[in-house]
């Protein structure tokens, strides 16, 4: 029995609608799909596919927009894990952003890209002793402590180095951000943060420990959050805790409001930075706190595309690309929807046929789209997978012996390669066959 033919969903946005919502992308009659001022076909021809392309102008303007929305209210710390490329970090530093890091590797990258230690916050649920020592030695802005146990460890390590580390306690406000279960972090069932009911006691303990100085609170309730409601709920609880702590004579100077601002992958539109600012103001406005936000996805997600070539067709209903889940894992991991647009203008106009778009990896989850209305269905055609600037290249692997794809950055009508395609030999360079197998 053959599988049922894919059916295009009626509410699927058209290619024209996808492009209209993304001002950095345009379809030109001659040049095809253009990112800022650069035809993507030109990059695909030079670099081959799969290849990532980032729009510097888009990252810059999104950072400027967020900074403007937060002016006089909160500082912006870019969550490095969304896209940790040195050029992206350099651009964030130039735009005045600090960083939120979750590992030694990210801390080193941020410093290398020119972000001052005093502008770096260290988050993360399982920091190693080595990472904590590095954060203390670098004298970063603050370590966001995830548990009562970690607080003791940070204090002991700092005291051992003759230092007092500034810490914020990451609280778990037990608020459901209404997002995908794999990116929810603010409910009591998740591994993140100090349970709300225990937070005051842990803060009091921090004030007694020799190696730490508690400077405030932090929270981060999840990712791809599209409405202000979960923020309002979480911030209200945090503000309540600030009052409780201060009533007990404990100093609370800072509040890290976390990241999580969502973007419009399909037709949902971007989360509003102004609405986030409103939620922050509503809960923390009168509390005389130094505030920061730490978004990743919102700043860089829309600014990246993944270019791929059609390598085959199966039965007129399955389009096989040369990009795969090892490059962009979001559809396989989070059931994420990504727009797919042909790079050639005349293909973009052609009638759409419902197809499943898949990669060549030996997993059925290696599927980018199901029942998508796509005009190009011939091998050799190029497509762009949209909104791949966040949690894209950073999540790539070499599964199925596939080298990491190259990255280009576009800025106006200039472009440059910012990472070469990994060589096959580089994939096994660190491997050794032991003597006992000789
Ligand atoms: C992942 C993460 C962020 C950024 O999340 P986005 O959804 O990309 O904005 C911010 N803060 C912490 C603690 C995180 O773990």
Pairwise CA distance, residues 259 & 275, whole Å: 13
Q: b/e for 173-191, b at 16 or more Cβ within 10 A?
A: bbbbbebeeebbbbbeeee
Question: Does 376 score more than 90 pLDDT?
Answer: no
Residue bearing tokens 């060549």: 360
Pairwise CA distance, residues 135 & 309, whole Å: 43
**Beta pairing partners, 194:** 171
Q: Which atom of ligand 1 is nearest to the CA of 261?
A: 9
Mean pLDDT of 196-219: 97
Q: Which residue minimizes the CA distance to atom 10 of ligand 1?
A: 259
* Each residue's pLDDT tens digit, 343-358: 997 766 666 778 999 9
What's phi and psi for 178, nearest 5 deg?
Answer: 70, 25
Distance from residue 417's CA to the centre of ligand 1 (Å) = 27
Mean pLDDT of 42-63: 98
pLDDT at 279: 98
Going 296 to 302 to 303 to 307, the CA torsion angle's sign is positive
In 298-388, where do the E strands start and end? 304-314, 318-321, 340-342, 353-358, 367-374, 382-385
Average pLDDT over the chain reads 94
Distance from residue 79's CA to the centre of ligand 1 (Å) = 6
* Each residue's pLDDT tens digit, 298-327: 999 999 999 999 999 988 899 999 999 999
Check if 257 is active-site. Answer: no
Question: Does 429 score more than 60 pLDDT?
Answer: yes
By most ligand atoms within 8 Å of CB, the mutation choice from 62, 81, 265 for ligand 1 is 81
Q: Which atom of ligand 1 is nearest to the CA of 295?
A: 9
Among 29, 362, 433, 438, the one annotated catalytic: 362
* Each residue's pLDDT tens digit, 183-194: 777 777 888 899
Are 306 and 339 in contact, with CB atoms under 8 Å apart? no
Nearest to 329 by CA among 264, 283, 392, 269: 392
- Please confirm whether the linkage preceding 50 is cis (ω < 30° from 0): yes
Q: Which atom of ligand 1 is nearest to the CA of 296?
A: 8
Question: Does 409 score more than 70 pLDDT?
Answer: yes
Are 260 and 177 in contact, with CB atoms under 8 Å apart? yes
Pairwise CA distance, residues 250 & 414, whole Å: 53
pLDDT at 1: 42
What's the whole-model pTM score? 0.96
Mean pLDDT of 156-165: 98
- For a pLDDT cut of 90, what percent of the chain falls above it? 87
Mean pLDDT of 241-269: 97
Alpha helix stretches (DSSP H) within 70-216: 86-94, 104-112, 129-138, 148-160, 196-208
Distance from residue 4's CA to the centre of ligand 1 (Å) = 39
Question: Does 385 score more than 70 pLDDT?
Answer: yes
What's phi and psi for 28, nearest 5 deg?
Answer: -100, 145
Domains of the chain: 15-55+301-423 (2.40.37.10), 123-295 (3.20.20.10)
Question: Does 179 score more than 90 pLDDT?
Answer: no
Distance from residue 220's CA to the centre of ligand 1 (Å) = 7
Q: Which atom of ligand 1 is nearest to the CA of 82?
A: 8
Return all residues near 240 (Cβ < 8 A) that are at least 6 apart. Answer: none
List, chain by chain if needed, residues with CB within 6 Å of any ligand 1 atom: 79, 81-82, 100, 123, 220, 223, 258-261, 294-298
Query: 360 is written with which tokens?
Result: 């060549």
Between strands 212-218 and 165-172, the pairing is parallel
What's phi and psi for 133, nearest 5 deg?
Answer: -60, -40
Mean pLDDT of 92-112: 98
**Beta pairing partners, 310:** 321
DSSP reduced 3-state for 41: helix
Question: Does 230 score more than 70 pLDDT?
Answer: yes
Pairwise CA distance, residues 429 & 419, whole Å: 18
Distance from residue 344's CA to the centre of ligand 1 (Å) = 35
By most ligand atoms within 8 Å of CB, the mutation choice from 171, 262, 294, 330 for ligand 1 is 294
> How many CB atoms neighbour CB 165 within 10 A?
24
Question: Does 23 score more than 70 pLDDT?
Answer: yes
pLDDT at 347: 66
Question: Does 110 score more than 80 pLDDT?
Answer: yes
pLDDT at 180: 77
By most ligand atoms within 8 Å of CB, the mutation choice from 223, 226, 301 for ligand 1 is 223
């Amino acid at each position: 029995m053959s599988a049922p033919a894919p059916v295009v969903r009626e509410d699927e946005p058209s290619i024209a609608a996808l492009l209209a919502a993304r001002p950095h992308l345009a379809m030109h009659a001659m040049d095809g799909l253009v990112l800022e001022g650069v035809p993507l076909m030109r990059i695909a021809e030079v670099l081959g596919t799969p290849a990532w392309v980032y729009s510097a102008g888009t990252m810059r303007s999104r950072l400027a927009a967020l900074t403007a929305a937060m002016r006089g209210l909160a500082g912006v710390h870019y969550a490095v894990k969304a896209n940790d490329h040195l050029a992206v970090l350099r651009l964030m530093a130039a735009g005045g952003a600090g960083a939120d890091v979750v590992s030694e590797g990210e801390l080193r990258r941020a410093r290398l890209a020119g972000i001052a230690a005093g502008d770096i916050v260290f988050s993360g649920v399982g920091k190693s002793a080595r990472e904590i020592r590095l954060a203390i030695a670098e004298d970063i802005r603050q370590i966001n402590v995830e548990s009562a146990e970690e607080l003791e460890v940070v204090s002991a390590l700092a005291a051992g180095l003759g230092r007092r580390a500034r810490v914020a306690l990451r609280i778990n406000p037990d608020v459901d951000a209404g997002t995908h279960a794999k990116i929810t972090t603010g409910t009591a069932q998740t591994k993140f943060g100090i349970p709300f009911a225990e937070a005051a006691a842990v803060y009091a303990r921090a004030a007694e420990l020799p190696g730490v100085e508690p400077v405030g609170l932090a929270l981060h309730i999840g990712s791809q959050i599209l409405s202000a409601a979960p923020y309002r709920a979480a911030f209200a609880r945090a503000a309540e805790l600030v009052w409780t702590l201060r009533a007990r004579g404990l100093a609370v100077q800072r509040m890290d409001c976390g990241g999580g601002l969502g973007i419009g992958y399909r037709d949902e539109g971007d989360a509003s930075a102004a609405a986030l600012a409103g939620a922050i103001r509503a809960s923390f406005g009168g509390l005389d706190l130094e505030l920061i936000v730490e978004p990743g996805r919102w700043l860089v997600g829309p600014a990246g595309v993944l270019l791929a070539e059609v390598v085959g067709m199966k039965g007129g209903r399955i389009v096989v690309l040369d990009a795969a889940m090892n490059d962009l894992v979001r559809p396989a991991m989070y059931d994420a929807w990504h727009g797919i647009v042909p790079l050639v203008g005349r293909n973009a106009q052609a009638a759409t046929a419902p197809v499943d778009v898949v990669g060549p990896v030996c997993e059925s989850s290696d599927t980018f789209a199901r029942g998508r209305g796509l005009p190009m269905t011939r091998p050799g055609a190029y497509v762009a997978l949209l909104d791949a600037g966040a949690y894209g290249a950073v999540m790539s692997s070499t599964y199925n012996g596939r080298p990491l794809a190259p990255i280009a950055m576009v800025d106006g009508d200039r472009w440059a390669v910012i990472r070469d395609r990994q060589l096959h030999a580089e994939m096994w360079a660190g491997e050794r066959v032991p003597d006992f197998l000789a």
